[in-house]
């Protein structure tokens, strides 16, 4: 059943989502530090039976120069290819390379970024540690380091995503004018963030994006992972102001305001995990209206493989 | 947690699963009728962005000559390829061709058979009707036509699977000495059945197979889809004898006794859907001990993509 | 708790429910074909210990002339009796004759129609097959044949209900000027349909009727059986338009507009299965305001036996 | 799925269930006091549309002479009839008279006893108060007055059941040599008790009886109502000895040892509410082996209406 | 997630909650009778290892003079102390004295009243019987005796609470000008009632109070214990008018109108058990606006120990 | 209901739990490093309304010398007191000082250790960070750093517990010959560990201890937090050997073998979180049989406050 406002109200939903004054400074400093931290990307042939496309096992420097794993897949080509940098949903990691052959089999280079410290709840795992401790936290990633934007987990993960774009841009086999970011759920939130924070992103695909409009999200759903924040606040009763201040540095609505590349957003009207109003809050904040795909009868799985078809077709046009 | 017997008992578990006297006649007649029913396979290029492998949208004649949809994927090759005929889990269908690129990207031809009348519970759908009515039935496929082996749904679906093998064998681009069947859950049960009923199957991969040892299954799990049978029997209190007689014609244990090709079976010890004892009952009934992969901490997802890697490697060796 | 709008809004709820232009043609053709299909009703004494009322085991021709089972119960009488044709809720069948003695023990003839293809989820079963296949469908009856109104399951079941009225009207022991239709949930939806499509129905009782205002129902409840439609649409993402077009041929709101007989409708304000707004949409569409019984604190059980008392008293007056 | 031991072990299950030394004294004193307490039965025509059988609204004196409501139904007859005294399941009451027409429509007189203080959880209610307070108790009836057999709720309810038999025996329209007791779940436990404590009971039908072998029941199921006892003991950690001593005065196993009339017991092997071992413990304690009906695939609904058919047929033979 | 109206609407929420004309007479008569019933308080040293504060095991006369248990705790003091009379949440009792040392350790005398007939669902129990029977009732206390305000359970429990205040006022070691009442959930509802009905109460603390605005509560939550009333009404379909009339004598909104002492109310915006609108209905009915503590991210646990700190600080000021 | 073996089998349950050869070296090195890491304990008066006992807000050096918060409570005394070092259950922290007054009010000094990185799931929070990152991990603490005993979270937390004992021993207001450790669930597991690893512990109280016999625990329960390990292993399918090797360094069974102080263990037979066999495995491994308290009808709450009473009495005797 519908989990949020009617579609007509969603289309007009433009809530006030305040942003911190130093938002841009915060991120430009964070990214500058990450880029200055050094670290070198390495790439070796992946251990996989796949032969139809080339698969590399990549390690690139992310937040603080810390190593982040990724798969790079590409079809045989004698010229640089358009590239999709893919970010993964909450709890998952880069998995195994044969799981995500679609982009490369369709003519794109494809960089699948692992998710630091996650990759242990579903799927086929991953191998990127998050070498940072935290204060008292609820199980999960949502409240790790949440007392300050500087220590917050998503500062690191978003930086990784931006640095993944850097890696793609620096590859000889990638056409740097045609690098897109894409992802579902957490991956969609990261795609908006990377699109906002990296000026060379040429297209953004955010499917049922997470990490948007936290102040509303925690009030209209009790599903994980937004509920991690609610649970944390139910114990740390005086922490709400600081928590929401921290979250304001990673909120997808504020990110969306800064995205200049063409963007596709998909949303599911029966989504109990990422309530559609939070997705529309981000979609409606984009400076240029996105290509919007609405799935009226889907929960958080959204458009799934059918949406992937629409995204591939759209990317083909946008990155042509 | 463990859902069944300890592993050491499972390894020795060989229950008495009676088979009807006319089992082999039943199936030889059924298959002969299907093959005699005519119908021609057709194949057109699939509507997909995938270019790295060839994708065909196939329709082949199944039970009663009725049209069954499939995808055929293959890498570029100038000689016939080994081929994996894949059967799908309960509720799913052939989906979209870009979802299952692994085999073709690894050098195999790959025929993905749609599931008649299903394909509407998860995944990306399918397009094969089941043009047969039934008597009173519980929602789902498990009790459709269950009053007789002749009208039972799985008679039709198993025949489709055998006929899918026929289709693969008849293709010029397939090496007919190297056709394997594979599947997960319902697909695993169908793989055992096709391996039993088709003498030209060269290898069988049955992951966490469903449709095995029904008499025990309905007593040790209350999870769907086995529970459809229990629910039916809870209403039709006098029907148990006939129901189990019908099921004896499709039981994976009885099928396993007839499989002569090399077989890989995977099983998950925390599987609440297909209890491991029912899987071992089939595995231990194989004339030749199978290659057995045990996943001690998985529920019905079993080995998933990691098991796929093991299966591909094993198929590479067996079909070499 | 309340599952829908406040009562005052429900009383005024008259949504726009569009109907297909050929709605009346569709049904007149369907019914004419069924009546032309032949088939003869048979009746034998039922196997039951009941002696206080007469019980017959009836088979009458339904959709396509196909045999439909029923019980006919009547108290001893030397003249034709008023008759209640009862339709059964989703998943149930005609059960056993001693289960439904109330009408006959209170002076009515009573025809209890079996439900084709159902009768296996609760209760004491039934014996009417549905000899029609379908395309890909979600477990349950809601999406069988849903790609076209011609193949849709409810076309057949509604026709059965109309033909059950025909059967009652044709009996010597029934007063053909006093034949009512009644039912609960699915049975209530069928009662509205039979009342709309059969001009000789003298009274309609629809308790917590199902099959009303589908477009809203699937959006405001996630309970089965409406959820079968939602699940189907979540997989078949492009099918919504056709699905709702098919449903528009069986929607209880459109049926209600055509009911001319006196009607009693009961509704439960905490009904999570058939949300009260969908029931009011039908009740408020009746050309003549119905006798309305509101149960403020009941879920889908509604008024149950207490409602039966009110219905019997009302039928006694209306059919006097 | 199976909720207890395999059937072959159940058939042989004869646990040690100790009984208090003064068990018989306790009950003979209790019943003598109840019979001495006076109170007169009254009977008025019931307010019901039913005409095919006679329905009386009865009040008879139960425990302590306190008024207990009942329905008396009987078909027209010019001689005394065999009579079934029916006791009701937990949470229910006598309901409405038209709900239980089967016995009377099949030639039996039928006394439906209300359940003091219950009748408010399901069904159509009832009207018998339980004018006794209690010490600290868990919600529900299972622990009211449980600190002593003298104050325990079931002392009163069992006495009511015995006094209901007294009432039936005293009626002119009942053949006092042919009075049976019957019931399902709690009603089955009460039937065993009445059969044990009243020497004039001619037959006992106990369907999926509750109130049997408490010491095991609370350890093998966590379903209500046995769980009320567990919950009470989880708070009152030192009370177990006294609680089980009180329960030993009402345990159906101990009752069963004293039943001399022919008895039918039904049991469901997937019963999670009244685990089958507790039912077999009682059935196997009967001095004469009962007619046993086993439903292998049913939960606590057991044989339901199909079992009713078997019971009616059996009663017809036993009371012939 | 939020379980009710937005905060701004809650702050203005002042529903029409009708009160019976004889409300004040009812209670003045009830209390006068209780006080006239006699009974003497007794107090013995408690059996506890606690030595830092004095603990007495108290029995005082409550409704009808019936004995009610309590703990009295106080720090060493040579002069009368301010005293908090604490009432307990639904299902609990006075527990063990060492569980509630906070008030006494912080300088207050503390009387912890047991809950008659409850104390068996959670916690460490209690020892106060409720020696009153009832008519048909749903499991739990909410519908015991609900057919009349005179027989209703909460008439007795509220009277106990008022008499607990009497007991505190009569103690030499308590400063009778500084007696507060406090409680959480059911205890909060009782605190409002005692504050309304006892003129010598000097302060009231009602945390997430239960027993407020029943007419709305049963419609907006399906959580126990409000749901006991709904369940009762779902069976006793004609009883609603009388039930709500009975409840109107104990409704916390009507009580609140009569509270003249300073009051602190706490409320949780994600409270699914006591919906915040029902709490605000009471808070906004107080003649003097209360000190209001809002916990935006808590379910029914509300402010818990953090709220206790605020309450202690507030009581320190109010009772200074 | 029972969640594990029958009591008689539990009493004899002594499974083979292998321990690593370097177990003692691992811990002596770890503790030596922690003690060598420096850091100074600080203590300031706590911000609390409590006056009857002294409350200090303590910070002491734990693993790696990192600051760990604690409360120290003590009754007024002019001589050193026996002291209970309390460890907290999973997800909780030291909370607020007024929550745990029992020990100090009963004559003991009491040190309540905060739980690093937890304290955000229930209760009133805490303030101790865990400044260590980890590899891919499941939400929660159970798999943080699980790839090596050196990086495993519980290496740090157990060290904190040992260092808390060090802190207690070093206080002037504590009698260093009478320092006990106590805790429930995770706290019970930590108590066993501290009792094993610190020779000056004078008594151990382990209530329903967690962290015992992991190899069995993950197979017989699917409840959190043991299930975190299962979930991790279901994704990281090849990691089981290493995971169980890491866990063998913190297993409470191996710890128990090394506990020389008198020990009290409590266990609940209906405990679904810490299955009783895992508790008995530890209890039966103690060199000296413990004082064992069995709660037959409790889930993981175990004996709760009643067990506390038994523990206090026992500690009073043991530390006399």
Give the tokens for residue A60. Answer: 């690139």
pLDDT bracket for residue B122 (50, 70, 90): very high
pLDDT for residue F237 is more than 90 = yes
Q: Which of residues 181-220 of E touch A (CB under 8 A)?
A: none
In which residue are the tokens 């149950």 written? C304
F193 in the Ramachandran plot: left (φ > 0), alpha (ψ -120 to 50) or beta? alpha
Does residue B320 sit at the A interface (CB-CB below 8 Å)?
no
With an 8 Å CB cutoff and a minimum of 3 pairs, decide whether chains E and D touch.
yes
Tell me: the pLDDT tens digits for C153-165? 999 999 999 999 9
pLDDT for residue D109 is more than 90 = yes
Assess contact for D117 and E139: CB atoms under 8 A. no
The share of chain A scoring above pLDDT 90, in percent, equals 99
Report the gap between the CA of F293 and the closest CA in chain B (Å): 27
Report phi then psi at F163, rounded to 5: -70, -30
Tell me the mean pLDDT in the region F128-137. Answer: 98
Which H or E run includes C304?
Answer: helix C304-318
- How far, in Å, CA of D258 to CA of D192, rounded? 9
* Among the partner residues C218, C219, C237, nearest to A306 by beta-carbon distance: C237
What separation in angstroms does the CA of F275 have from each of B140, D5, F212, F252? 37, 22, 10, 13
Whether E183 is covered by a domain: the verdict is yes
The share of chain E scoring above pLDDT 90, in percent, equals 99
Does residue F89 sit at the A interface (CB-CB below 8 Å)?
no
Whether E318 is covered by a domain: the verdict is no
pLDDT for residue B66 is more than 90 = yes
Assess contact for B105 and B132: CB atoms under 8 A. no
SS3 E225: coil
pLDDT bracket for residue D96 (50, 70, 90): very high
Assess contact for E176 and E201: CB atoms under 8 A. no
Give first-to-last CA distance, chain B, whole Å.
Answer: 38
The share of chain C scoring above pLDDT 70, in percent, equals 100
In angstroms, how far apart are the furthest CA atoms of chain F? 59
Give the tokens for residue F90. Answer: 């999973």
> Any residues with CB less than 8 A from the CB of C317 and at least 6 apart, and which?
none
pLDDT bracket for residue F66 (50, 70, 90): very high
Could you give the ipTM of this predicted complex?
0.97
- How far, in Å, CA of F319 to CA of F103, rounded? 13
- How far, in Å, CA of E37 to CA of E245, rounded? 27
- How far, in Å, CA of B272 to CA of B220, rounded? 9
> Per-residue DSSP letters for A89-103?
-TT-----GGG--HH
Tell me: the pLDDT tens digits for C20-49? 999 999 999 999 999 999 899 999 999 999
Mean pLDDT over each residue of chain C, to the nearest integer: 98
Q: What is the DSSP letter of A300?
A: T
Single out the residue of A62, A9, A78, A35 nearest to residue A269, CA to CA. Answer: A9
Antiparallel, parallel or unpaired: β F263-268 and A54-61? unpaired
What separation in angstroms does the CA of F145 have from each of B278, F135, F228? 37, 6, 13
Report phi then psi at C175, rounded to 5: -85, 110
Whether F300 is covered by a domain: the verdict is yes
Tell me: the pLDDT tens digits for E235-265? 999 999 999 999 999 999 999 999 999 999 9
SS3 D34: helix
Opening angle at CA A7, ends A5 and A13, nearest 5:
65
Tell me: the pLDDT tens digits for E93-109? 999 999 999 999 999 99
pLDDT for residue A201 is more than 90 = yes
Does C237 contact A297 at a Cβ distance shorter than 8 Å? yes
> Per-residue DSSP letters for F199-246?
TT--EEEEES-SSS-HHHHHHH---TTHHHHHHHHHHSTT-HHHHHHH
Does residue B185 have an active-site annotation? yes
- How far, in Å, CA of D228 to CA of F271, rounded? 17
Which H or E run includes E191?
Answer: helix E186-197
Task: Output the 3-class SS for E61-106.
Answer: ECHHHCEEEEEEEECCCCCCEEEEEEECCCCCCCCCHHHCCHHHHC
- pLDDT score of E224: 96
- pLDDT score of E38: 86
Within a 10 A sphere around the Cβ of B217, how many other Cβ atoms?
28
Give first-to-last CA distance, chain F, whole Å.
Answer: 38
Q: Could you say which of F114, F185, F227, F251 is catalytic? A: F185
- pLDDT score of E143: 98
* Among the partner residues D96, D99, D312, nearest to C49 by beta-carbon distance: D312
Tell me the mean pLDDT in the region E142-161. Answer: 98
SS3 A224: coil
Assess contact for B21 and B222: CB atoms under 8 A. no
In angstroms, how far apart are the furthest CA atoms of chain B? 59
The share of chain E scoring above pLDDT 70, in percent, equals 100
Q: Could you say which of C114, C138, C271, C277 is catalytic? A: C271
pLDDT for residue F255 is more than 90 = yes
Tell me: the pLDDT tens digits for B270-307? 999 999 999 999 999 999 999 999 999 999 999 999 99
Tell me: the pLDDT tens digits for A78-100? 999 999 999 999 999 999 999 99
3-state helix, strand, coil in chain C (%, to 5): 35, 20, 45
SS3 C219: helix
**Could you tell me which residues are beta bridge partners of residue F206?**
F183, F265
All residues of chain A having their beta carbon less than 8 Å from the beta carbon of residue C238 are 306
Assess contact for A89 and A184: CB atoms under 8 A. yes
- How far, in Å, CA of D95 to CA of E102, rounded? 51
> Per-residue DSSP letters for D37-94?
T----EEEE-S-S--SSEEEEEEEE-GGG-EEEEEEEE---SS-EEEEEEE--TT---
Assess contact for C212 and C271: CB atoms under 8 A. no
| CATH for D178 | 3.40.50.1820
Instruction: Report whether the peptide linkage leading into residue B180 is cis, meaning its omega lies within 30 degrees of zero.
Output: no
The share of chain A scoring above pLDDT 70, in percent, equals 100
Whether C277 is covered by a domain: the verdict is yes
- pLDDT score of D38: 86
Single out the residue of E119, F274, F302, F223 nearest to residue D234, CA to CA. Answer: F302
Assess contact for C87 and C194: CB atoms under 8 A. yes
Instruction: Report whether the peptide linkage leading into residue F225 is cis, meaning its omega lies within 30 degrees of zero.
Output: yes
- How far, in Å, CA of B104 to CA of B73, rounded? 6
- How far, in Å, CA of B233 to CA of B222, rounded? 13
Does residue E96 sit at the F interface (CB-CB below 8 Å)?
yes
Tell me: the pLDDT tens digits for F42-56? 999 999 999 999 999
Tell me: the pLDDT tens digits for E175-206? 999 999 999 999 999 999 999 999 999 999 99
What is the total count of domains within chain B? 1
Q: What is the DSSP letter of C289?
A: P
The share of chain B scoring above pLDDT 90, in percent, equals 99
- The domain of A118 spans 7-313
- pLDDT score of F129: 98
Give the tokens for residue B49. Answer: 């962005």
Does A297 contact C234 at a Cβ distance shorter than 8 Å? yes
Assess contact for C155 and C63: CB atoms under 8 A. yes
With an 8 Å CB cutoff and a minimum of 3 pairs, decide whether chains B and C touch.
yes
Whether E158 is covered by a domain: the verdict is yes
Which H or E run includes D162?
Answer: helix D153-169
Q: Which of F99, F157, F235, F238 to mutate to test the interface with A (most CBs of A within 10 A)?
A: F235
- How far, in Å, CA of E165 to CA of E169, rounded? 6
Does residue B120 sit at the C interface (CB-CB below 8 Å)?
yes
Assess contact for F162 and F31: CB atoms under 8 A. yes
Within a 10 A sphere around the Cβ of E284, how many other Cβ atoms?
20
Does B118 contact C134 at a Cβ distance shorter than 8 Å? no
- pLDDT score of A247: 98
Q: Could you say which of B57, B110, B167, B185 is catalytic? A: B185
- pLDDT score of D268: 98
Give first-to-last CA distance, chain D, whole Å.
Answer: 38
The share of chain D scoring above pLDDT 90, in percent, equals 99
Does D305 contact C124 at a Cβ distance shorter than 8 Å? yes
Whether E319 is covered by a domain: the verdict is no
Q: What is the pTM of this model?
A: 0.97
Tell me: the pLDDT tens digits for E25-60? 999 999 999 999 989 999 999 999 999 999 999 999
Single out the residue of F244, F154, F147, F145 nearest to residue F197, CA to CA. Answer: F154
Antiparallel, parallel or unpaired: β B291-295 and C54-61? unpaired
All residues of chain D having their beta carbon less than 8 Å from the beta carbon of residue C105 are 50-53, 98, 101, 105
- pLDDT score of F38: 86
Assess contact for A39 and A59: CB atoms under 8 A. no
Does F136 contact A124 at a Cβ distance shorter than 8 Å? no
Instruction: Report whether the peptide linkage leading into residue C276 is cis, meaning its omega lies within 30 degrees of zero.
Output: no
Q: What is the DSSP letter of F5?
A: S
- How far, in Å, CA of A319 to CA of A264, rounded? 13
Handedness of CA B271, B275, B280, B286 (dihedral sign): negative
- How far, in Å, CA of D269 to CA of D300, rounded? 9
- How far, in Å, CA of D245 to CA of A234, rounded? 44
- pLDDT score of A38: 86
Which H or E run includes C311?
Answer: helix C304-318
Handedness of CA E201, E202, E207, E211 (dihedral sign): positive
- pLDDT score of A91: 98
Tell me: the pLDDT tens digits for B141-179? 999 999 999 999 999 999 999 999 999 999 999 999 999
- pLDDT score of C38: 86
Does residue C240 sit at the A interface (CB-CB below 8 Å)?
yes
pLDDT bracket for residue B38 (50, 70, 90): confident
In which residue are the tokens 């866990």 written? F247
pLDDT for residue B185 is more than 90 = yes
């Amino acid at each position: 059943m519908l989990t949020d406002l009617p579609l007509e109200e969603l289309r007009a939903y433009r809530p006030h989502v305040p942003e911190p004054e130093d938002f841009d400074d915060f991120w430009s400093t964070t990214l500058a530090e990450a880029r200055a931290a050094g670290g070198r990307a390495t790439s070796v042939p992946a251990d996989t039976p796949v032969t139809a496309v080339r698969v590399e096992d990549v390690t690139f420097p992310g937040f603080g120069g810390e190593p982040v794993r990724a798969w790079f897949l590409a079809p045989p080509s004698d010229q640089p290819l358009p590239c999709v940098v893919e970010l993964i949903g909450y709890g998952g990691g880069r998995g195994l390379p044969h799981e995500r052959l679609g982009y490369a089999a369709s003519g794109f280079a494809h960089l699948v970024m692992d998710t630091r410290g996650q990759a242990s709840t579903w799927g086929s795992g991953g191998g990127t540690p998050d070498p940072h401790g935290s204060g008292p936290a609820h199980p999960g990633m949502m409240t790790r380091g949440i007392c300050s934007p500087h220590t917050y987990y998503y500062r690191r993960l978003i930086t990784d995503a931006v640095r993944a774009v850097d890696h793609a841009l620096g590859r000889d086999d990638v056409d740097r004018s045609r690098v897109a970011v894409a992802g579902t759920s957490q991956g969609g939130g990261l795609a908006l963030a990377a699109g906002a924070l990296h000026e060379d992103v040429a297209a953004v695909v955010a499917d049922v994006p997470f990490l948007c409009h936290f102040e509303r999200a925690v009030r209209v759903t009790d599903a994980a992972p937004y509920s991690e924040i609610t649970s944390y606040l139910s114990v740390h009763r005086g922490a709400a102001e600081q928590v929401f201040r921290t979250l304001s540095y990673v909120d997808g609505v504020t990110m969306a305001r800064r995205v200049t590349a063409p963007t596709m957003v998909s949303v599911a009207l029966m989504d109990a995990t990422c309530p559609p109003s939070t997705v529309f809050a981000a979609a409606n904040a984009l400076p240029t209206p996105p290509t919007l795909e609405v799935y009226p009868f889907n929960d958080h799985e959204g458009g799934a493989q059918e949406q992937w078809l629409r995204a591939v077709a759209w990317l083909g046009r946008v990155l042509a």
